[in-house]
Structure 1
Amino acid sequence: MTRFPRLRLSLLTAALAGGLAVFPAGSSRAEGSFTPAQRQEIVAIVRNALKTDPTILADAITAMRAETEAQQQAKGLQAVRANRAKLAGSSGDIVLGNPKGSLSVVEFYDPRCPYCRKVLPDLDRLVSAEPDLRLVEKVVPVLGPASQMEAEAIAAAGLQGGYLKLQQALMSDSQPASVARIRALATATGLDADRLERDMKGPDVAAILHENMDLARQVGLEGTPTFLIGEKAIIPGAASFEDLKSEVDSLRKPS
């Protein structure tokens, strides 16, 4: 009876479950080279292994998930490097911290995302703790019409130099999104509400959001917030201050 090392047996288990066969690179064996009796024996080995140790399948799934995530990360980082200039920030973004800082972080966020709102204090804390940090925030409306409306408003506020003021007002507001509410908050923060409403549907705002969404797709964004840590890592989700600080510290180390 052929014996498989645990990892190989795990991969074989998952492969057979999916109707595939797994062989080492360069192997002369192919699925068609097994006789029906040999294939039946392999299936029996796998079934017996799963009965005696069900964690084998869980290990296989974990291993495949990790491999998939690593591939997605590599593909995303390739896109980050290819779009270095655009990710450095444009007139449609807000740059927090040191505009000339050497430690670069980019956040993709949705103004209606509760996790994006939750992480705001940690980002302020991170900027205060890292004098060489350059944090670029890119707004992406991914959660529906309300997000689209507020993203347009934030980008339009940037045309008046009021991006951060309206962003903070909207992301700390608990009222339903509406043009009337946006106008009220814009006026309260010293912005021209009439101009803001016009600009929200103008070509400049449309171009800003289109570019941000295109960049998000290229780096493989699956949700918000998502953080790009220089060109070293893509961190999805509302990472804690400690995790973000650790990732930023890693930018000081040579690749």
Structure 2
Amino acid sequence: MIAKQPSSSESGSSGSASDQVGREGRLKPLVFASFALAGLSVVLSVVALLFAAGVLSPLRDGSDLDGRMHAYLLANPEVLIESMNGLQARRQAAENNDLTAVISQRHDEIFNDPGSPVGANPKGEAILVEFFDYNCPYCRQATPMLDKLEQEDKGLRLVFKEYPILGPGSVFAARAALASQKQGKYLAFHKGMMAYQGRITETSSLEVAANVGLDVEQLKQDMKDPAIDEIIKRNVALAQALHISGTPSFVVGKEIVQGLTDASSLKRLIASARGS
């Protein structure tokens, strides 16, 4: 999986390397503090459990709580490990519940946005959504697999979410792809871009456009439509709401899969979504 948040240059604003370093420097103490607080919470929880279970007797004046707790945890380190694992499991469950709620609340935006191009089976009842970037090598690897899934399952509708997070070339390519819809050649352009060997730039995007039969000058004019930039902005905001930070990422039913996966896993999720 290519994991990268949209940078300031990719979103249309300027920013220097020193700005990025400064932001990272401010974030590190916050991350450390978060881990420290989580660790303290776990230790306190363990102590409470030990008292409740009668492992540690009630304190009396002069009792050495620190020493007793230290000795017990050294002799039984698995208690702390189990508590940390339990904490992580609860946090993951809470995050999964939050994402399920977001998918439910933004269902139409995810699965039925008229601005999102669709694959070869536009009337398919089972929907698989892909967030991708034309410069993502794993997205290119996923393309033949998705093509085969479409061929095997005529009831599968692919929804493409242009999510250009890997530089200005990716942004240009996404805008060109969305503009190609006006000439009825989105799928041809999309597959041509995914099959391209090399870095996707403005030049290579227009090269692919010409190769698949697009009127390049008309394409350039169509790319000026403000609606295209609005679609990309919506996709980026939606990805952030779904905690998607890399490509490819897939949404099917109530599940989110981040990173390149295999066809069998996607088939199971598609079948599960059909049955729900």
Identify the TM-score tier after normalising by the shorter chain: 0.7 to 0.9
Which of 138, 148, 158 aligns to 2:171? It is 148
Shift of 1:62: 4.7
Q: Percent identity?
A: 31
Q: What's the CA shift for 1:118?
A: 0.7
Distance 1:47 1:144, change over 3 A: farther
Q: Per the alignment, in what secondary structure is the counterpart of residue 96 of structure 1?
A: coil
Picking from 210, 215, 232, the partner of 1:209 is 232
Higher relative contact order (CA 8 A, sep 6+): 2
CA contact (8 A) 1:97 1:132 kept: no
Determine helix, strand or coil for the equivalent of 1:166.
helix
2:71 aligned residue? 44
Counterpart-to-counterpart distance in 2, 1:69 and 1:115 = 26
Out of 18, 27, 37, the position equivalent to 2:39 is 18
What is the SS of the residue equivalent to 1:68? helix
* 1:238 to partner: Cα distance: 0.8
- SS of the residue corresponding to residue 136 of structure 1 reads strand
**Aligned position for 2:208:** 185
Structure 2 unaligned regions, length at least 5: 1-34, 53-57
- Label 1:150 to 1:75 Cα distance change in 2 as closer, same or farther (>3 A): same
**3-state DSSP class of the match of 2:251?**
strand
Task: State the AA in 2 paired with 1:249.
Answer: A
Deviation larger for 179-188 or 56-65: 56-65
Flag structure 1 segments of 5+ consecutive residues without an equivalent.
1-13, 28-32
Partner of 1:239: 261
Q: Give the secondary-structure state (helix, strand or coil) at the position aligned to 1:138.
A: strand
The answer to whether structure 1 residue 196 and structure 2 residue 223 are counterparts is: no
Measured in 2, the distance between the counterparts of 1:66 and 1:147 equals: 36
Contact 1:101 / 1:132 at 8 angstroms: preserved in 2? yes
Deviation at 1:181, TM superposition (A): 2.1
C-alpha change, 1:167 and 1:17, in structure 2 (3 Å) is: closer
Q: Does 1:176 align with 2:203?
A: no
Q: Evaluate the alpha carbon distance shift between residue 72 and residue 184 of structure 1 in structure 2; reply closer, same or farther with a 3 A threshold.
A: same
Structure 2 letter corresponding to 1:19: L
> Partners in 1 of 2:159 and 2:59 — Cα distance?
56
Indicate the RMSD between aligned Cα atoms, in angstroms. Answer: 2.7
Q: Which amino acid aligns with 1:214?
A: A
| 1:84 alignment counterpart | 107
Distance in 1, matches of 2:195 and 2:129, equals 21
Q: Please, what TM-score do these two structures have when normalized by structure 1?
A: 0.79
Deviation of 1:125 after TM superposition, in Å, equals 1.5
TM-score, structure 2 normalization:
0.73
Secondary structure in structure 2 of the residue aligned to 1:19: helix
Aligned: 1:110 with 2:110: no
Q: Distance in 2 between matches of 1:57 and 1:145?
A: 47
Shift of the 239–199 alpha-carbon distance from structure 1 to 2, 3 Å rule, reads same
Report the CA distance between 1:189 and its aligned residue.
1.0
Q: Secondary structure at the match of 2:134?
A: coil
The alpha-carbon distance between structure 1 residues 60 and 147, as it changes in their structure 2 partners (threshold 3 A), is farther
C-alpha distance in 1, partners of 2:81/2:176? 46
Secondary structure of 2:203 counterpart: helix
Q: How many residues align?
A: 229
Q: Would the aligned equivalents of 1:92 and 1:158 in 2 still touch at CA under 8 Å? A: no
Q: Secondary structure at the match of 1:137?
A: strand
Contact 2:163 2:232 in 1 (8 A): yes
Structure 2 equivalent of residue 3 of structure 1: none
**Is 1:229 matched up with 2:252?**
yes
